[in-house]
Amino acid sequence: MAANFKNPVVRWIDHRLPVFTFLHHEANEYPTPKNLSYWWNFGSLAGFMLMVMMASGIFLAMQYTPHVDYAFNSVERMMRDVNYGWLLRYIHMNGASMFFVVVYVHMFRGLYFGSYKAPRELLWQIGVVILLLMMATAFMGYVLPWGQMSFWGATVITNLFSALPVVGEHIVTLLWGGFSVDNPTLNRFFSLHYLLPFVLLGVVVLHVVALHRFGSNNPIGIDTKGPQDTIPFHPYYTVKDMFGLGVFMIFYAYWVFYAPVTLGDPVNFVPANPLSTPEHIVPEWYFLPFYAILRSIPDKLLGVIAMFASILVLFVLPWLDRSPVRSGRYRPAFKWFFWMLVFDCVILTICGKSPPDWIWSPFAFSISPDVGQVGISIIAMGQLATTYYFGYFLVVLPLLSIFERALPVPLSISRPVLGAGGSHAAIAQSPKPMEKL
Amino acid sequence: MADHAQTPHGQATGEQGTRRDFLFLTAASVTAFGAASAVWPFVSSMNPSKDVLALSSIEVDVGQVAEGQAITVKWRGKPVFIRHRTAAEIAEAVKDDGADMKDPQKDEVRAQKPEFLVLVGVCTHLGCIPLGQKDAEPKGQFGGWYCPCHGSMYDTSGRIRKGPAPLNLEVPAYQYVSDTVVKIG
């Protein structure tokens, strides 16, 4: 239903180009479950981060020179000579980390509350595409300053494709545009780093369109059953998103202003040198779990396959978890395995960060190169963690779907929100779940 | 409206603003201030950076320029014309001080030392570089410079005499650091 706009200019435009009707429909009329928790803030935060990254990136690109002889110096010039260049760069550098923080929270939210389940499978899969695009963009962006870690990170990651039989070497040469990572590589990475965020933006639009088809999932994980279960997105969730944004900005600003280089690797402040590899090559923190999975498989090709599979498995997740109950709140066994997965990802991160031949001593809380120590080697721990990671998706979830006995799920969102239902059992016995309260 | 002055949601009767109005206005102003502060560094980053500003002055030895000769030097990415004028050229410029001009200016204010004319060599119309620095180039009807883009003509003092350009050729800020060395900028 078209809204009745008071402003005559708005009415004039809307009659010819119904943008205001569209916005009104997608914000003021869009019904949203009224029980969304703060975990549901992270989608809009991710959208905000995309905007911040694009804005700061466009301004950085005005100062950047994509050439092996000038790239590093042009970045240093930003830091020293360009007005507020340091700020723009730190916003962008730490913004990448912040983007991954909110997206990872957003994904774990989806994993816990079963947001990937029918009818939101495609919504989830589009989200995985977004993650892949983010990873590609972040990786190529990291190469641009042309520091030591940029160069060797690019070398290692592009060399992954050499694991492919027969065509591997040719693909790597194609990616490089030469016989090593060099100027052609830097140029194409810059081009793609500028392009991919716009592709990402397009996929985000699809993500939102798919979201608005059935609306948000919610902490209880049951469908909304009528107007009594929903509130309009605007102003209720816009204001909640704004509040969350304010809190998040404090967190973000802390990194930008007080710890701008903490999340990065100091080695990247050394200009790229194709003749000398740094001692430890580590990716940025958001890639560490995947890097750990790569390293935990002793075979080159299988390691690469495992690394890609760790993300690709998310595409089929909706069909691996067959439990009809969405929310982890009502899945007593699932909960444990879910939190173990979170813990597992932390372990994988630690493994990815540490040199593979080091020893982890859980009782001494230390990771050290001392082989005489009592403990478990990083590589073995990575293998255990990798096993659990795949085990969670490929074994635990399918088995839970069969054997787990879920708790009774409330029959409507309104009941527990308004406090009418005490125990779950009482709600389940309610004769009129849809009654208005 | 409600009978009582304020409901729990802060609706009030009459002219008086409510607490909600106050919160709304404060929040909106803080947001607007924050947004403006966030935009500022972005816009500022597009202004000339420190390394560009550091290159904003040059020194030129004009002692090498023979009478009747002109040289072009680059300053802030733009050409600067330095012409060692002949006595005849100076006389002509001074003679024309009272002529009908778009941008009247006396010759004496346009050159610190009359024999050396220092000008930004950019046509004040749309930014082309006028011809006239070399002997073979057309100098226009007034013996100064001729802009090939839209036909503006400047005299031997760099003043606009004919054509669409609105202003005389700009005299940059400069000073003589010695008898023959000029610091421009």
Q: A189-221 pLDDT, tens per residue?
A: 999 999 999 999 999 999 999 999 999 999 999
User: pLDDT above 70 covers what percent of chain A?
Assistant: 93
d(CA B47, CA B86): 41
Report the pLDDT value the prediction gives residue A427, as an integer from 0 to 100: 45
Question: Region A58-84: what's the mean pLDDT?
Answer: 96
Nearest CB to B47: which of A55, A56, A83? Answer: A83
Domain termination residue (choose one: A281, A315, A339): A281
Q: What is the pLDDT of residues A145-189, one digit of tens each?
A: 999 999 999 999 999 999 999 999 999 999 999 999 999 999 999
Inter-chain residue contact A55 with B42, CB threshold 8 Å: yes
Domain termination residue (choose one: A226, A253, A281): A281
- One domain, residues A277 and A302: no
- One domain, residues A82 and A214: yes
The domain of A392 spans 288-414
Q: What is the CATH number of the domain that holds A59?
A: 1.20.810.10
Give the nearest chain B residue to A85 (CA atoms). Answer: B45
Domain annotation covers residue A22: no
∠ CA(A21), CA(A23), CA(A24), 5° rounding? Answer: 60
d(CA A206, CA A224): 22
DSSP A216-249: ---TT-----SGGGEEEHHHHHHHHHHHHHHHHH
Nearest to B97 by CA among B161, B173, B174, B162: B161
Q: Is A215 left (phi over 0), alpha (psi -120 to 50) or beta?
A: left
Domain annotation covers residue A436: no
Contact A26, A209 (CB under 8 A): no
Q: Work out the angle between the directed axes of helices A288-296 and A300-312 (0-180°, nearest 10).
A: 140
How distant is the Cα of B179 from the closest Cα of chain A, in angstroms?
Answer: 35
Known catalytic membership, residue B4: no
Nearest to A72 by CA among A125, A135, A151: A151
Q: Work out the angle between the directed axes of helices A300-312 and A121-143 (0-180°, nearest 10).
A: 130
How many residues are recorded in chain B? 185
Report the pLDDT value the prediction gives residue B17, as an integer from 0 to 100: 84
- One domain, residues A388 and A325: yes
A398-427 residues touching B, CB cutoff 8 A: none
Asked if pLDDT for residue A421 goes beyond 50, the answer is no
DSSP class of residue A281 equals -
- One domain, residues A307 and A344: yes
Tally the C-alpha atoms within 13 A of residue A125's C-alpha that lie toward its C-beta: 12
- One domain, residues A192 and A337: no
* Own/partner long-range contacts of A193-196 (Cβ < 8 Å, ≥24 apart): A193/A57, A193/A137, A193/A140, A193/A141, A193/A144, A194/A57, A194/A61, A196/A133, A196/A136, A196/A137, A196/A140
Per-residue pLDDT of chain B (185 residues; tens, 9 = 90+): 344 444 555 455 556 789 999 998 999 999 999 999 999 999 999 998 998 888 778 899 998 888 889 999 999 889 999 999 999 999 999 998 888 899 999 998 999 999 999 999 999 999 999 999 988 899 999 989 999 999 999 999 999 999 999 999 999 999 999 988 999 98
- One domain, residues A69 and A182: yes
DSSP B93-126: HHHGGGS--SS---GGGT-SBTTEEEEE-S-TTT
Nearest CB to B50: which of A59, A63, A81? Answer: A81
Domain termination residue (choose one: A281, A303, A334): A281
Inter-chain residue contact B49 with A81, CB threshold 8 Å: yes
Domain annotation covers residue A204: yes
Give the nearest chain B residue to A59 (CA atoms). Answer: B42
Assigned token pair, A415: 């009941």
- One domain, residues A191 and A327: no
Domain annotation covers residue A322: yes
Q: Which residues neighbour B87 within 8 Å (Cβ) at sequence distance 6 or greater?
A: none
DSSP class of residue A271 equals B
Measured over all CA atoms, what is the biggest interatomic distance in chain B, rounded to whole angstroms?
A: 94
d(CA A338, CA A139): 28
* This prediction's pTM: 0.86
- One domain, residues A121 and A264: yes
Q: What does pLDDT average to over chain A?
A: 91
- One domain, residues A65 and A209: yes
Asked if pLDDT for residue A373 goes beyond 60, the answer is yes
Domain annotation covers residue A190: yes
Tally of domains in chain A: 2
Task: Give the other-Cβ count within 10 Å of A236's Cβ.
Answer: 14
Report the pLDDT value the prediction gives residue A1, as an integer from 0 to 100: 47
Q: What is the pLDDT of residues A303-360, one digit of tens each?
A: 999 999 999 999 999 999 999 999 999 999 999 999 999 999 999 999 999 888 888 8
Q: Which residues neighbour B51 within 8 Å (Cβ) at sequence distance 6 or greater?
A: A77, A80, A81
- One domain, residues A223 and A330: no
- One domain, residues A215 and A357: no
Contact A63, B45 (CB under 8 A): yes
Residue A364 pLDDT class (50, 70, 90 cuts): low
Inter-chain residue contact A85 with B49, CB threshold 8 Å: yes
Question: Region A228-247: what's the mean pLDDT?
Answer: 93
Report the pLDDT value the prediction gives residue A418, as an integer from 0 to 100: 63
Domain annotation covers residue A435: no
Q: Which residues neighbour B142 within 8 Å (Cβ) at sequence distance 6 or greater?
A: B96, B153, B154, B155, B156, B161, B162
- One domain, residues A92 and A210: yes
Known catalytic membership, residue A240: yes
Report the pLDDT value the prediction gives residue B8, as an integer from 0 to 100: 52
Domain annotation covers residue A1: no
How distant is the Cα of A92 from the closest Cα of chain B, in angstroms?
Answer: 12
Inter-chain residue contact B50 with A87, CB threshold 8 Å: no
Domain annotation covers residue A11: no
Q: Chain B contacts of A81, Cβ < 8 Å?
A: 49-52
